[in-house]
Amino acid sequence: NAGVTQTPKFRILKIGQSMTLQCTQDMNHNYMYWYRQDPGMGLKLIYYSVGAGITDKGEVPNGYNVSRSTTEDFPLRLELAAPSQTSVYFCASNPSSGGYTFGSGTRLTVV
């Protein structure tokens, strides 16, 4: 049972490039989330999904897009990378209400 798997672990992007951060969970959880964590700061919610085909904005959605075509996958898309998007990104899931299971994170640097 792998839990929540995020790829890649590290990435350096140039300004204006695009990329997709992958997130997969094998626990059949309906709820999935994307957070960003800036240095020395807490976690801010970017987008979340309560089930396949349903997504909604969190606190800081600008510059990002998501999709949820299956229960297992919840990719996060950056279309035009900006230095302000340099951060560590965490994906999480939970079955309904309760403790979240987090992935190990993707460290993204935009230069």
Partner 1 sequence: GENVEQHPSTLSVQEGDSAVIKCTYSDSASNYFPWYKQELGKGPQLIIDIRSNVGEKKDQRIAVTLNKTAKHFSLHITETQPEDSAVYFCAALKDTDKLIFGTGTRLQVFP
Residues that bind partner 1 (CB under 8 A): 4, 31, 33, 41-43, 45, 48, 50, 58, 90, 92, 96-105
Q: Least CB distance from residue 31 to partner 1, whole Å?
A: 7
Nearer CB in complex with partner 1: 45/52: 45
Say if residues 9 and 108 touch (Cβ distance below 8 Å).
no
Please classify residue 62 by burial: count the beta carbons closer than 10 Å to its beta carbon, then call 0-12 exposed, 13-18 middle and 19+ buried: exposed
Nearer CB in complex with partner 1: 58/63: 58
Q: Least CB distance from residue 16 to partner 1, whole Å?
A: 28
Q: Least CB distance from residue 103 to partner 1, whole Å?
A: 6
Residue 46 backbone phi and psi in degrees, to 5: -95, -60
Query: What does the alpha-carbon distance between residue 74 and residue 58 come to, in Å, rounded to a whole number?
Result: 14
